[in-house]
Amino acid sequence: MNKKVLALVLAIVMMLSFAACGGNGGDTTTAAGDTTAAGETTAAEDATAEAGESDLAYIQNKGEMVIGYTLFAPMNYEDDNGELTGFETEFAKAVCKELGVTPKFQLIVWDSKETELKSKSIDCIWNGMTINDDLEKNLSISTPYMANKQVLIVKKENADKYLKAEDMKNANIVAEKGSAGERTAQTNEFFAGANYTAVEDQQTALMEVFGNKADGCVVDYVLSIGMIGEGTSYEDLVVVDSLAFEPEQYGIAFRKGSDVTAKVNEAITKLVESGELQKIAEKYKLAEQIIAK
Amino acid sequence: MSFSTVNSELFIGFFENVKLFGITLLFALPLGLIIAFGSMSKFSPVKLLTRGFVWIIRGTPLMLQLFVVFYVPGLLFDIRFPGSNPRMTAAAIAFVINYACYFSEIYRGGIESIPKGQYEAGQVLGMTKTQVFFKVILLQVIKRIVPPMSNEFMTLIKDTSLARVIAVADIIMVAGKFSARGIIWPLFYTALFFLVFCGLMTVIFGRIEKRLDYFKA
């Protein structure tokens, strides 16, 4: 009898605790819901923020523009002394000089770039960012300043092996998840016969080809200039020259509705007119890719 | 890229891991004890609330908690995360809360494993409840929780590299910088740092267990 009472009490306690847990769980989901909802409102508010303190005023008051970047030669990378350098680094410094603010470079995780921007941890994304519809809808993007394309990278000895769509039959192709390269590998007819695997980032994609885990990877042309060839771990990787996919353009991203974008566009025009942008691009062998006017 | 440059950069990165490890232990160890008392409380609202909290923290990914701590203030309230090193501060807050919850369960297990007779013996000697806990129970608890704690400590030093999701420049992130330049061996070399650190901890924990061996609980 006693045991039955005990069992009953235990059952009630368990139910209660589950109910309590359920209550807590409910709270959490609501909180999460609030987060996204509020995230959107923040974005919406940003769009209309000009009435209050504008984004430009916010940055000018701070006196610094926090530039979110990832390391990616030749755009942003560290030289042998550990100093940050690269095309985008010098470009950003030149633009900040025009705006009269100090650039502060903040290394970020690429997957979190939009969150970083919206939560004001950074003020812009400036890192060879390919402009696409989603980004244009959710962020404010500068005028395109550089052209790029996706290319197929293979081992040197296979350079002549993958030229036609038929050559790709059963070939193992990798690309960075969520990248333009992935889109190419998944949707371009050229890769229809290939087996596609998504990998963490572009470095991993190169590593897969280098380590014979994959036959080829689809990456960014601008990136491949700095990462393969002499002096790197990927000396025997080459770009298949006859192939070019998805011509694309690079832009700088700001918070949605930000008035900084227009100011930066003006500064870019000035740098093009003075020839400074071209000079920086030449230094990194990117002069042919510049499209800003 | 010379070996010594890579080494010194990786050391700077690993210092971030060790810093996060130290801060987490400093605050999570005492906080865990408080949470343990909460989840053992005879006052059921406190108990349920504490256990619900522990459930949420243990039931969601640490990576997500890092995101929440660092980004949500900015997203919801339009404020930048304060402090001179906001990323490290956010990581430390997330880690302290997360590990305190895990520690609390270890403490609770340790405390509840002490036989009732030990409390009764203390009472017979005329000790107050607090005296019984600190003079009779605690040392026995510590002895019992050393092995599970050593597990948590080792998990912690490796978990610290998770802070790179909010861009804390830890050793793995530093190694990633080299990969970005096409040099991949530093990434694998970082294993040695963790191995040496965990080796040291194994030795230290072995010593602690030996020193606590003078009484059989």
Average pLDDT, chain B: 92
Q: Percentage of residues in chain A with pLDDT exceeding 70?
A: 82
pLDDT given at position A43: 43
Distance from CA of B60 to the nearest CA of A (A): 11
Summarize pLDDT for A161-212 with one digit per residue, the tens: 898 888 888 999 999 988 888 999 999 999 999 999 999 888 889 989 999 9
Q: Percentage of residues in chain A with pLDDT exceeding 90?
A: 48
pLDDT band at B146 (very low <50, low <70, confident <90, very high): very high
- State the Cα–Cα distance between residues B2 and B17, nearest whole angstrom: 23
Q: Domains, chain B, ranges and CATH? A: 3-113+146-214 (1.10.3720.10)
In chain A, which residues have their Cβ closer than 8 Å to the Cβ of B2? none
Q: How many CA atoms lie within 13 A of A188 on its CB side?
A: 23
Task: Tell whether B83 is within 8 A of chain A (Cβ).
Answer: no
- State the Cα–Cα distance between residues B179 and A238, nearest whole angstrom: 18
The reply to whether residue B182 touches residue A17, judged by beta carbons under 8 angstroms, is no
Cis before A74 (ω within 30): yes
In chain B, which residues have their Cβ closer than 8 Å to the Cβ of A24? 52-53, 55-56
Residue from A67, A88, A66, A68 nearest A77 by CA: A88
- State the Cα–Cα distance between residues A33 and A29, nearest whole angstrom: 6
Q: Domains, chain A, ranges and CATH? A: 49-147+249-289 (3.40.190.10), 149-247 (3.40.190.10)
Distance from CA of A293 to the nearest CA of B (A): 30
10 Å CB burial of residue A253 (0-12, 13-18, 19+) is: buried
Summarize pLDDT for B158-214 with one digit per residue, the tens: 999 999 999 999 999 999 888 877 788 999 999 999 999 999 999 999 999 998 887
Residue from B72, B11, B3 nearest B197 by CA: B11
Residue of B nearest to A44 (CA): B75
The reply to whether residue B75 touches residue A28, judged by beta carbons under 8 angstroms, is no
Cα angle value A98/A99/A102 (rounded, 5°)? 100
- State the Cα–Cα distance between residues B217 and B207, nearest whole angstrom: 18
Helix (H) / strand (E) containing A155:
strand A146-155
pLDDT given at position A51: 43
Q: Percentage of residues in chain B with pLDDT exceeding 90?
A: 77
Distance from CA of A34 to the nearest CA of B (A): 9
Helices and strands counted in chain B (H then E): 9, 0
The reply to whether residue B75 touches residue A112, judged by beta carbons under 8 angstroms, is no
Residue from A251, A195, A248 nearest A220 by CA: A248
> Is ipTM beyond 0.90?
no
Surface of A (204-263) touching B: CB under 8 A: 206-207, 226-228, 231-234
Surface of A (126-185) touching B: CB under 8 A: none
The reply to whether residue B180 touches residue A70, judged by beta carbons under 8 angstroms, is yes
Q: Is A126 helix (H, G, I), strand (E, B) or coil?
A: strand
Q: Is A72 helix (H, G, I), strand (E, B) or coil?
A: strand
pLDDT band at B80 (very low <50, low <70, confident <90, very high): confident
